[in-house]
Amino acid sequence: MSQSREIIYKCPYCQKEFEMTIYDAVNANKDLDEAERCKSGDIFKQLCPHCHKDFMVMNPFVYTDIDNKFIIFVSDEEVPESLQELSKSFDEAGYRLRRCRTIKEFTEKIQIFEDGMDDILVELAKYDSFIEYIDNRKGNAEDISSIEYQHTKDDVMKINVRCDDRGLSFLIPIAALEEVVNSQKDFFAIDNKAFPLINSDWIIQLYNDAEGLIS
């Protein structure tokens, strides 16, 4: 079941305090309404009753999907000891354990896992799309506002590279991504029990470290 609580919070706009409900955990299989709000990010949205402006409040939060066997801890903080203690049993049960630092990472991660995809393949696809855009499309890295996973269909992954009001889509065969990861298993290895951050920063650091070793 979902876990929520009431807190007193000061509005960042009008500086007035009010009581709000925040969620500490959501079980996607038992709380369908809350799960939908997680997918949109609205679970973190709050509305000030005084100035009527809305804003996001991202508190440490655990999202569990039993059917798709994954657990996401959402926070910029380290995984709490209480959750770490359960990680071994979840790992042995075949759950994918992840940490997300931002709401955007969280909503995208849900979609990736619900699509039945491996987030390592997704981050590799996003990284390759970035390189393709810079090297072959003659674009500039500073013009890119976001690189997003859209969907996987017929074993082809679609990645969108957005530049302000423009965008460019890349279609990448899953087989090609799997071949790269399977041929470099040690390079892409992760510790699932540690609730790893598998995001753009992670894969960029991987390649930066590899270049450092070569040089």
pLDDT, tens digit, for every residue of 185-208?
A: 999 999 999 999 999 999 999 998
Question: What pLDDT, on a 0 to 100 scale, did the predictor assign at position 168?
Answer: 87
Do residues 139 and 104 share a domain?
Answer: no
Say how many domains are in the chain: 2
Do residues 95 and 32 share a domain?
Answer: yes
Do residues 61 and 153 share a domain?
Answer: no
Do residues 175 and 97 share a domain?
Answer: no
Q: Which domain-ending residue is among 76, 91, 114?
A: 114
How far is 170 from 157, CA to CA, in rounded Å? Answer: 8
Residue 196 maps to a domain: no
Do residues 108 and 46 share a domain?
Answer: yes
Question: What pLDDT, on a 0 to 100 scale, did the predictor assign at position 184?
Answer: 95
Report CA dihedral (60, 66, 68, 72) to the nearest 10 degrees.
10
> How would residue 137 be classed by pLDDT, with cut points 50, 70 and 90?
low
Do residues 88 and 172 share a domain?
Answer: no
How far is 126 from 120, CA to CA, in rounded Å? Answer: 10
- Global pTM reads 0.92
Do residues 135 and 65 share a domain?
Answer: no
Identify the domain containing residue 185 by its residue range: 119-191+203-214
